[in-house]
């Protein structure tokens, strides 16, 4: 069976940079499906321990939260297809906190006035590959994404997030914060794609990476693709060491250097955790991160 | 509802004149070992160069075509005239240059620029340099500015050329680097001795006149310690309906403490494929500054690369790309931080209109040993209609925690509020739009020599017809 390339960059670039695909390919599997019902507005929490495919058709004018907590001991696939109905407000939380590798693939489509809030958290776990493809097809549909990662040892993480603006006056906001220790490797590919016809659309993307390990490898690939005149797009990235002035301030308050670094690293991840907005999940994360 | 702003293409009429070429001067189209041998014999290559050409041909045949970037499917290298022999050898006296060639460069303003503001000039017409001259006082300071082919046979420089030629851009780099190595012809050799600082620039101008031809000039510049040079490169060709190819190569060696500024105004006609390779190696505390304006060609792949190889080395890239109808201009830069305390700064602007596509593509690599390095990238794109495209594809690859790398990009259109404000201050709509686009391109024009900046601003101003649609 043919291997499937993962996390394909929407517009390929110089081959020698090694960012056009994830450095791991997989074969197709038929994972069991799970249908998610958003109709009652409750929070749906799923512990994902085996490969699973999520299906959801979110009705119009509904709200709901889906929390997918992956802490499997062996490699799993987590894929999903979610259609968000008109004027619905959906939050999708994905937490990858297992000892094993994961391959994630999520397709989301948003109708008129739909709002999608996506929170993704990656904490260690070998080699994680995550692709999320969001199509804002409806008028004034909106995506807000917060991604956090905390990597150490030889962790590898490859994220491919695509926000396609198809509808008019659509909005996307992508915020990424990460901490890299030891010999961890990470590639973040974030694409804002303004398709022809998406007039009035706005997209913004920002990645903030704190490098703490001597042998880390960080790749940041923020794309803006534009086939529409009347749009506003921007992206920014900040990669590197802890700001000298900030560290000086922390030391002047009586902290030793390691405590200050730990505190700053924790604050980066905490700012993403705070977006989960589900007490049960946050408590679970706090207990596991301590 | 906001009004649409319409801006015309860059006027190319001043570049679109041409003279009939003498078909007897053509070698055959395409590329074969026999043809390489013939070019080599024609140029009286030393053995090492002939062997390098054949090796490059072998690499070319084995290397696959690029599979990213704009399509080059319509480019058939087998139909490109890779070498055109000039009957007349290079001249150092302008009056001796053949009349039609002389008139070509006169119309492009090259001799006038030489008289007024340049330390030396080289002019290449199709495959060969036809004129080279350097001011007496510049030559007396030890600066060498000559054609590469003569220098290759000069006892003083031949070893230097052998040890530097295609070492920075090896033929294995990509398919068109290999093609260049096989059929290169013309180009300049510049050597600036230790401590010599040239206050006025040197310039090379490349003109491709023949239909369906390729130009493969090689520029090799070596700056010794603590020297300074500003080198200007200009390119143009008349428009034909048959594809032309420019696959030149620029290799720049910047020694300790030396500073090189390399400015390019590229205005190839819209039948040209511009697949040029430029690279600089910068040693301790040296610096390279690229100023790049891309206005012409049908398809461009152009990413000047800076390898910061010594402590404290720095690179700066300032670029503007204007893609109009039928153009796919894929431009940007590559910077490799390969030593401690290196720094880079990238500032680019792009404008897309009338179905043109511009892509900003970059690679910033900070290696493990580049502790204390800093990099800042800023790119802005302006979309002037909805039938055009503008993409930004930057990559940052950071492998040390002791680095600071920042990146910002922005895409948008001409602000109708800004047009309205300027009109309320008494400007016509046309003047307002022209002023905004000129301001957008300001980062490049202020880095250009005055006469080039004026020309660029005039082009932008003339081509804004201001009709709202």
Both tokens of residue B14?
Answer: 């001043």
Has residue B427 been placed in a domain?
no
Both tokens of residue B377?
Answer: 């990238």
Asked if residues B460 and B452 have their Cβ atoms less than 8 Å apart, the reply is no
Residues of A in contact with B388 (CB under 8 A): 227, 229
Q: What is the pLDDT of residue A110?
A: 98
Has residue B425 been placed in a domain?
no
Residues in contact with B347: Cβ distance below 8 Å, sequence separation at least 6, in sequence order? B316, B317, B318, B319, B378, B379, B443
Q: Which of B66-70, B99-103, B222-226, B296-300 has the lowest mean pLDDT?
A: B99-103
Beta-bridge partner residues of A193: A164, A225
Q: Which of B80-84, B208-212, B242-246 has the lowest mean pLDDT?
A: B208-212
Q: Which of A32-36, A111-115, B6-10, B89-93 has the lowest mean pLDDT?
A: B6-10
**Residue A205 — φ and ψ, nearest 5°?**
-140, 140
**Residue A153 — φ and ψ, nearest 5°?**
50, -125
Q: What is the pLDDT along chain A (290 residues), one digit of tens a residue?
A: 678 889 999 999 999 999 999 988 888 788 888 888 887 788 999 998 888 999 999 999 999 999 999 888 788 888 999 999 999 999 999 999 877 788 889 999 999 999 999 999 999 878 899 999 999 999 999 999 999 999 999 999 999 999 999 999 999 999 999 999 999 999 999 999 999 999 999 999 999 999 999 899 999 999 999 999 999 999 999 998 888 888 899 999 999 989 998 888 888 899 999 999 899 999 998 887 76
The domain containing residue A92 runs over which residues? 4-241
Give CA–CA dist B62/B43, Å, rounded: 26
| Structural domain count of chain A | 1
Whether pLDDT at B267 is above 90: no
Whether pLDDT at B84 is above 70: no
Q: Which range scores top for mean pLDDT: B210-219, B349-358, B364-373, B441-450? A: B364-373
Has residue B448 been placed in a domain?
no
Whether pLDDT at B243 is above 50: yes
Q: Is A3 exposed, middle or buried (0-12, 13-18, 19+ CB in 10 A)?
A: exposed
Predicted confidence band at B465 (pLDDT cuts at 50, 70, 90)?
very low
Q: What is the pLDDT of residue B23?
A: 46
Q: What is the pLDDT of residue A241?
A: 83
Has residue A260 been placed in a domain?
no
Q: Which of B154-158, B372-376, B451-455 has the lowest mean pLDDT?
A: B451-455
Looking at the complex, report in whole angstroms how far the Cα of residue A124 sits from the nearest Cα belonging to chain B: 19
Has residue A177 been placed in a domain?
yes
Whether pLDDT at B139 is above 50: yes
Q: What is the pLDDT of residue B62?
A: 95
Residues in contact with B315: Cβ distance below 8 Å, sequence separation at least 6, in sequence order? B280, B282, B287, B288, B289, B290, B306, B308, B335, B343, B344, B345
Please name the residue that has the structure tokens 């693939």: A105
pLDDT digits (tens, 9 = 90+) for B405-461: 999 999 988 888 888 999 999 998 878 877 888 888 887 777 776 666 776 666 666
3-state secondary structure of B275: strand
Residues of B in contact with A216 (CB under 8 A): 398-401
Mean per-residue pLDDT for B278-295? 95
The domain containing residue B322 runs over which residues? 14-414
Has residue B431 been placed in a domain?
no
Select from B401, B412, B416, B417 the residue whose CB has the most chain A CBs within 10 Å, as the one to mutate to test that interface: B401
In 3D space, the residue among B353, B290, B284 whose CA is nearest the CA of residue B324 turns out to be B353
**B89 close to A (CB below 8 A):** no
Q: Which range scores top for mean pLDDT: A97-111, B198-212, B243-257? A: B243-257
Mean per-residue pLDDT for B294-298? 85
Asked if residues A150 and A178 have their Cβ atoms less than 8 Å apart, the reply is yes
Distance, C-alpha B43 to centroid of its chain: 25
Looking at the complex, report in whole angstroms how far the Cα of residue A253 sits from the nearest Cα belonging to chain B: 24
| Structural domain count of chain B | 1
Q: Are strands B218-223 and B144-147 parallel, antiparallel or unpaired?
A: unpaired
Beta-bridge partner residues of B265: B234, B293
Has residue B313 been placed in a domain?
yes
Q: What is the pLDDT of residue A36?
A: 87
Has residue A26 been placed in a domain?
yes
Has residue B339 been placed in a domain?
yes
Has residue B263 been placed in a domain?
yes
Give CA–CA dist B411/B422, Å, rounded: 22
Has residue A259 been placed in a domain?
no
Residues of A in contact with B406 (CB under 8 A): 236-239
Asked if residues B183 and B214 have their Cβ atoms less than 8 Å apart, the reply is yes
Q: What is the pLDDT of residue B96?
A: 66
Whether pLDDT at B5 is above 50: no
Has residue A117 been placed in a domain?
yes
Half-sphere exposure of A224 (CA within 13 A, CB side): 32
The B residues from 337 to 376 touching A (CB cutoff 8 Å) are 359, 361, 363, 365, 368
Mean pLDDT for all residues in chain B: 83
Give CA–CA dist B375/B266, Å, rounded: 26
Has residue B270 been placed in a domain?
yes
Task: Return the ∠ at Cα B40 (arms to B37 and B45), rounded to 5°.
Answer: 140
Mean per-residue pLDDT for B291-308? 92
**CA B337 vs CA B213, B249, B265: distances in Å:** 37, 22, 26
In 3D space, the residue among A94, A79, A101 whose CA is nearest the CA of residue A23 turns out to be A101
């Amino acid at each position: 069976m043919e291997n499937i390339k993962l996390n394909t960059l929407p517009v390929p670039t110089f081959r020698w940079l090694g960012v056009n695909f994830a450095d791991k390919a997989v074969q197709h599997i038929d994972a069991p499906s799970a249908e998610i019902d958003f109709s009652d507005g409750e929070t749906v929490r799923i512990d994902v321990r085996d490969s699973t495919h999520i299906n959801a058709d979110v009705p119009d004018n509904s709200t709901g939260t889906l929390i997918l907590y992956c802490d499997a001991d062996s490699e799993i696939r987590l894929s999903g297809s979610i259609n968000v109905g008109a004027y619905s407000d959906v939050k999708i939380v994905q937490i990858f906190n297992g000892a094993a590798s994961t391959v994630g693939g999520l397709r989301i489509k948003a109708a008129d006035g739909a709002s999608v809030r996506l929170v993704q958290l990656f904490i260690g776990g070998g080699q994680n590959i995550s692709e999320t493809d969001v199509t804002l097809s409806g008028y004034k549909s909106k995506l807000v994404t917060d991604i956090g990662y905390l990597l150490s040892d030889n962790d590898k993480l490859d994220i491919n997030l695509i926000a396609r603006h198809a509808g008019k006056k659509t909005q996307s906001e992508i915020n990424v914060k990460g901490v890299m220790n030891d010999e961890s490797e990470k590639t973040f590919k974030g694409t804002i794609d303004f398709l022809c016809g998406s007039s009035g659309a706005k997209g913004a993307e920002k990645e903030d990476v704190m490098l703490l390990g001597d042998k880390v490898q960080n790749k940041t690939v923020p794309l803006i693709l534009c086939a529409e005149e009347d749009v506003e797009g921007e992206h920014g990235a900040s990669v590197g060491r802890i700001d000298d002035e900030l560290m000086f301030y922390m030391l002047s308050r009586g902290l030793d250097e390691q405590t200050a670094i730990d505190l700053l690293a924790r604050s980066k991840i905490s700012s993403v955790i705070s977006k989960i907005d589900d007490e049960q999940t946050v408590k679970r994360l706090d207990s596991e991160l301590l | 509802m906001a009004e649409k702003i319409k801006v015309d293409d860059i006027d190319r009429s001043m570049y679109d004149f041409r003279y009939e070429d003498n078909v007897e001067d053509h070698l055959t189209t395409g590329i074969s070992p026999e043809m390489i041998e013939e070019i080599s014999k024609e140029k009286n290559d030393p053995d090492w160069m002939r062997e390098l050409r054949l090796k490059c041909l072998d690499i070319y045949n084995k290397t696959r075509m690029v599979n990213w970037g704009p399509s080059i499917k319509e480019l058939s290298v087998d139909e490109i005239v890779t070498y055109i022999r000039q009957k007349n050898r290079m001249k150092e006296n302008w009056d001796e240059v053949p009349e039609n060639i002389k008139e070509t460069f006169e119309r492009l303003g090259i001799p006038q620029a030489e008289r007024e503001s340049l330390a030396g000039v080289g002019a290449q017409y199709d495959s060969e340099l036809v004129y080279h001259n350097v001011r007496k006082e510049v030559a007396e300071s030890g600066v060498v500015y000559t054609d590469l082919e003569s220098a290759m046979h000069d006892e003083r420089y031949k070893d230097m050329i052998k040890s530097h030629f295609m070492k920075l851009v090896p033929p294995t780099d990509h398919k068109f680097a290999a093609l260049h190595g096989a059929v290169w012809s013309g180009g300049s050799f510049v050597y600036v001795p230790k401590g010599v600082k040239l206050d006025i620039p040197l310039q090379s101008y490349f003109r491709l006149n023949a239909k369906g031809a390729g130009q493969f000039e090689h520029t090799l510049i070596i700056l010794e310690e603590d020297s300074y040079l500003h080198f200007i490169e200009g390119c143009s060709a008349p428009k034909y309906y048959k594809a032309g190819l420019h696959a030149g190569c620029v290799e720049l060696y910047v020694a300790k403490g030396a500073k090189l500024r390399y400015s390019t105004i590229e205005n190839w006609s819209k039948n040209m494929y511009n697949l040029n390779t430029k690279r600089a190696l910068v040693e301790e505390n040296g610096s390279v500054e690229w100023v790049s304006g891309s206005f012409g060609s049908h398809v461009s792949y152009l990413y000047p690369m800076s390898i910061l190889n010594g402590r404290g080395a720095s690179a700066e890239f300032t670029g503007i790309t204007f893609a109009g109808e039928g153009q796919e201009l894929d431009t940007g830069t590559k910077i490799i931080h390969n030593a401690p305390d290196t720094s880079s700064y990238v500032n680019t602007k792009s404008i897309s209109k009338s179905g043109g596509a511009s892509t900003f593509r970059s690679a910033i690599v900070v290696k493990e040993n580049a502790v204390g390095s800093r990099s800042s990238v800023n790119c802005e794109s302006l979309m002037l209609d909805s039938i055009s495209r503008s993409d930004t594809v930057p990559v940052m690859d950071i492998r040390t925690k002791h680095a600071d790398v920042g990146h910002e990009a922005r895409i948008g259109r001409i602000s109708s509020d800004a047009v309205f404000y300027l009109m309320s201050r008494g400007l016509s709509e046309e003047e307002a739009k022209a002023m905004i686009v000129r301001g957008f391109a300001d980062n490049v024009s202020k880095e250009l020599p005055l006469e080039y900046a004026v020309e660029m601003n005039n082009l932008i101003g003339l081509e804004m017809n201001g009709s709202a649609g």
